[in-house]
Amino acid sequence: MQTCGVNERLRDYITRCVAFHTSPAPGLIIGAFMTDYALELLGAVPGEKLFAVCETPKCLPDAPQVIANCTTGNNRLKVLPIGKFALTVNRASDNPTSEGVRVYIDREKLKKFPVIDIWYANNPKFDKHSMGLLLQEEIFRNGRDILSTERVRVPVRQKQKWKPVDCPSCGESIPDYMILDGKCGACGSMNYYEKIDK
C-alpha cells in the first residue's frame, strides 16, 4: 500500500477493515477509500457520532463499521439493498434532516482504470487469480479517482417512545410502531423463514 501512495491513516483503516472482514476484498478496500473521503469532506473527527447508509450489502458496509463506528447494532448504519456501490455519511441532528456526503463509484471515471472497470462490471474477462494483485494495486493507486461525491440531505430518525405489543399473527412481542398491516414484519412482507413441524 505504501509503495502505491496510500497515506498512513488510510493504510491503518484498510488493515483494520481487512481484519474485520477477514479478507482484502476489492469492494471492502474501495469502501475504506469511500469512508475516508466522506469523513474528510464532512470535516469529521475520530470518535464523532456519525450515521451511514450503504446502498449495497456487499463488502461496503464493513468499512463505515470499522472506520466510523457506524453499526447496525448501534442503529447508526442502515444497509439498503439498492445495488449501487454508494455510501452516505451524515452527522447526528436534532432537526428532521441532516446534511451529509454521498460517495459513489463513478462508472465514467472507471473507464480510465481497465482492471477495476472489468472487475466492477462483473466482466468474464476478469480473472481473480491472474488479475487480483493488479486490481488491488490499481485500487491503491487510484482509490479516490474512481469516486464522485455529492452533498445530500437525509431524514434523521429520532428515537421513538414505544411499548411492547404482541403480534396478532404469531404472538411474539415487538415495538408497537413495527406492526404493519396488522402483523409484525416476520409474519408479513419481511418473512424470511418457514417453520418446520417436528
pLDDT in tens, 57-80: 999 999 999 999 999 999 999 999
With residues binned 3-state (H G I as helix, E B as strand, rest as coil), the percentages for the chain, rounded to 5, are 40, 20, 40
Q: What is the pLDDT of residues 144-191, one digit of tens each?
A: 999 999 999 999 877 778 899 999 888 899 998 888 888 888 888 888
Q: Which three cell numbers stand for residue 97?
A: 434532516
Domain 2-155 architecture: 2-Layer Sandwich (3.30)
H or E segment at 104? strand 97-105
Residue with cell string 482504470? 113
Q: Estimate the crossing angle of helix 128-142 against helix 26-42, to 10 degrees.
A: 10
DSSP-H helix ranges across the chain: 8-21, 26-42, 62-68, 107-110, 114-120, 128-142
User: Model pTM?
Assistant: 0.87
Q: Give the per-residue pLDDT at 182.
A: 85
Q: Which three cell numbers stand for residue 149?
A: 461525491
Residues 6+ apart with CB under 8 A from 26: 59, 116, 119, 135, 136, 139
Give yes or no for a contact between 20 and 60, defined as CB atoms under 8 angstroms apart.
no
Q: What is the pLDDT of residues 81-113, one digit of tens each?
A: 999 999 999 999 989 999 999 999 999 999 999
Domain boundaries along the sequence of the chain: 2-155, 160-198
Percentage with pLDDT > 70 across the chain:
100
